[in-house]
Amino acid sequence: MTFDLPDSLILDTALSVSGLTDYIRLLLEQDEQLRQVWVTGEVSSANHHRSGLFFTLQDTDRTAGIKCVVWNSQLPKLAQIPVPGEQIIILGSIRLYPQRGEYQLSVWQTLPAGVGLQALRYQQLKNRLLAEGLFDAQRKRSLPTHPQTIAVVTSPTAAAWGDIQKTLRQRYPGLQVLFSPATVQGEQAPESIVKAIERVERDGRAEVLILSRGGGAVEELACFNDERVVRSLATCSIPVITGIGHQRDESLADLVADACVHTPTAAAEMVVPSLSELYTEHRGRVVALHEAIYDSGKTALNKLEVLRNRLRRLRLDRQVQLEMDKLAWKRQHLVQITTGRSQQATQHLELLRQKLASLDPKAVLQRGYAVVRQEDGAIARSAAELTVGEDLLIQLGQGGVKVKVMELTLPAINRRGFLAQ
């Protein structure tokens, strides 16, 4: 086919490569859906460049592929780094690379697809609840030792309910069991479990609650990772034990419960003691008590015999005699000390008596001296104090004499005022 067009028309209507590229770029980048698009696929190749990570995302049947880029500034924010062979979900926007005329997906976020996405959601919810303290050990309550009434939340058609009933009857006959049925699989399960727990709390008789179901695939146990169920268990007014039939991973319900085991039977065994085991323990305690009493009595008798032997070896009468000898020696020592001090006092008293006797005026008179007293009884010490005709009493060693002053003889005084020698 040939086109007979004028050259001038061709030149006026023809676009440059950049013009066409810009037009396509505007179409792609201004499209609202392509500005924020989710794409899922398998990473077929990946190449780290100094500016970012370049990789190709393709369908699993390899019928289509798209080039993608994560710039270095965005890499730390990714939930999962693209690795060849892995299924991922990408959030990004379409961009055109003008130099090559190619479009690519500029990636903002990458998430694991399928089971990986569920695991990511599980981990995110777990981290959030962990930050709130719902899994803290300090919140765990101890199970009652001998509960009289327990509640069970599980499916009425599940084998778990039969296993629990059988175990409880064998271990603790006469126990009252309140059954609160719930759906434990599917989309309706979380709401059903929450309502079953609320029924138990409204009833108010149960002392402990068992949440249980048998084994199953990960998808079938998803209800036990539902936030509504976890929060209902966290706010339950009585202790909770979970018995969910899985061995590999713990559910969030297990983490928030006060106790958890991996099977319904194990939950029933944990929640109540076995009467046969209690009886055996009781008999063991009785035997141990008898043995303890016997050993205690035997030990006391041995101590008593030891004390008796010690008394025999000590000879108590000899000990008493030794104490009496000690008292007699102390008495004699006390008498000696008292006698010595008494003699010293007697000697000192005699010495004082002798000194006093030597100072007695009567003793002086006995040696020929006399005491001259005036009429008023005062002792005359100087002739100048007396007058002629005055009566005096002269006291002698034996008796006394009354005399009258006939003449006074005064001592001579020299010109200087002193008595003459």
Token digits of residue 63? 């019928």
Determine the average pLDDT of the residues in 274-286: 82
Residue 97 has pLDDT above 90, yes or no: no
Residue 204's Cα: distance from chain center in Å? 33
Determine the average pLDDT of the residues in 378-382: 79
Q: What is the pLDDT of residue 274?
A: 78
Q: What is the pLDDT of residue 115?
A: 57
C-alpha 156/C-alpha 195 separation (Å) is 15
Residue 11 has pLDDT above 70, yes or no: no
Of the candidates 60, 41, 170, the one whose C-alpha atom is nearest the C-alpha of residue 110 is 41
* Element containing residue 157 per DSSP (H, E): none
26-50 per-position pLDDT tens digit: 887 777 778 888 888 888 888 898 8
Measured between alpha carbons, how far apart are the two ends of the chain, in Å? 192
CATH 3.40.50.2300 fits 144-273, yes or no: yes
Token digits of residue 206? 């149960």
Can you say whether residue 223 is alpha, beta or left, with left for phi > 0 and alpha for psi between -120 and 50 degrees?
A: alpha
Full-model pTM: 0.49
C-alpha 421/C-alpha 415 separation (Å) is 13
Determine the average pLDDT of the residues in 251-271: 91
C-alpha 272/C-alpha 169 separation (Å) is 10
Q: Where in the chain is the domain with CATH 3.40.50.2300?
A: 144-273
Q: What is the pLDDT of residue 182?
A: 93
Coil/strand/helix, residue 226: coil
Compute the residue count for the chain. Answer: 421
C-alpha 125/C-alpha 109 separation (Å) is 19
Q: Are residues 234 and 255 in contact, defined by beta-carbon separation less than 8 angstroms?
A: no
Label residue 417 by pLDDT band (50, 70, 90): very low
For residue 103, report the phi and psi dihedrals to the nearest 5 degrees.
Answer: -100, 155
C-alpha 192/C-alpha 195 separation (Å) is 5
| Contacts for 95 with CB less than 8 Å, ≥ 6 apart | 28, 29, 103, 104, 105, 106
CATH 2.40.50.140 fits 14-113, yes or no: yes
Label residue 70 by pLDDT band (50, 70, 90): very high
More confident residue, 193 or 384: 193
Q: What is the pLDDT of residue 249?
A: 61
Q: What is the pLDDT of residue 53?
A: 92
Q: What is the pLDDT of residue 176?
A: 93
Token digits of residue 212? 């249980």
Q: Where in the chain is the domain with CATH 2.40.50.140?
A: 14-113
Token digits of residue 301? 């008798």
Coil/strand/helix, residue 259: strand
What's the sign of the alpha-carbon dihedral 80, 85, 86, 87?
Answer: positive
